[in-house]
Amino acid sequence: MGLRKPTNINELAYHTQRPLSRKDEDDQSGFCHMWVFKPNCPSCGDGVLNKPKRKAKFFVCDKCGKDFPVDEMILISMGEYDCPYCEHHGEFEEEWVRTKTAKKFKFKCGGCGKALDVGKLSRK
């Protein structure tokens, strides 16, 4: 599979590496590395959207200067994981709409189909 991998942390809006556990357990037998590239500007199509501050609520285009609410952006999350249920090693690439109430990211294991919860994401 051909996931686009980050070469530089500055390309990323979010990035996390963490253990995955089975639902309601604390086994941490799986692992997930997930990253989200900074989105391109929907307005000028040319710029890249950055968050000026870590907790900023807007992305700001580095070309045209327009801002966009972080909580409404459709981001593309990508990652690699080891499933805590079936030990399947897989990759994912999914749209992730980060809303105020759903900052968690979930995806389904390509091996066993169980839902995996990456948990709340921060920048580092």
Positions in the binding site for Zn ion (CB under 5 A): 41, 43-44, 47, 61, 63-64, 83, 85-86, 88, 109, 111-112
Q: What is the dihedral of CA 98, 102, 104, 106, to 10 degrees?
A: -90
Q: C-beta of 111: minimal distance to Zn ion in Å?
A: 4
Q: C-beta of 102: minimal distance to Zn ion in Å?
A: 22
Residue 72 has phi, psi (to 5 degrees) of: -120, 0
Q: C-beta of 37: minimal distance to Zn ion in Å?
A: 16
Q: Tell me the three state secondary structure of residue 50.
A: strand
* Residue among 11 and 103 whose Cβ is closer to Zn ion: 11
* Residue among 83 and 118 whose Cβ is closer to Zn ion: 83
Reference 112, options 13, 12, 20; nearest CA is 20
Reference 53, options 123, 103, 119; nearest CA is 123
* Residue among 69 and 124 whose Cβ is closer to Zn ion: 69
